Amino acid sequence: MRSELVYKAGLKIENRFLLAATAMRAAKRLHIDSTRTEDTVNRVFSEVGNGTPVHGELPEVTPPPAMDVLLITPAA
């Protein structure tokens, strides 16, 4: 069941790292101590998958800096 929720949420937020970070933050804020954590996470994924509006903006995804060409010196 959760895999279906994750799949639907992945259609809304295609970046997997951003989806995981968003789900963790939302679960941390929405969790109530008297409920199971699994239920809170399922609720988060279902709300993201349904496109429920969120108060706030997603962070901008920036590409990693370019790596310089590696210089390999032959062994003498």
pLDDT in tens, 22-57: 899 988 888 888 989 999 999 999 988 988 766 666
Statement: residue 68 has pLDDT above 80: no
Statement: residue 20 has pLDDT above 80: yes
The vertex-16 CA angle with 10 and 21, nearest 5°, equals 105
C-beta of residue 44 within 8 angstroms of C-beta of residue 26 = yes
Domain boundaries, the chain: 2-50
Please report the pLDDT score of residue 59 as a whole number.
Answer: 66
Statement: residue 70 has pLDDT above 80: no
C-beta of residue 44 within 8 angstroms of C-beta of residue 1 = no
Please report the pLDDT score of residue 37 as a whole number.
Answer: 92
Instruction: Using CA atoms of 57, 58, 59, 60 in order, give the dihedral in degrees to the nearest 10.
Output: -100
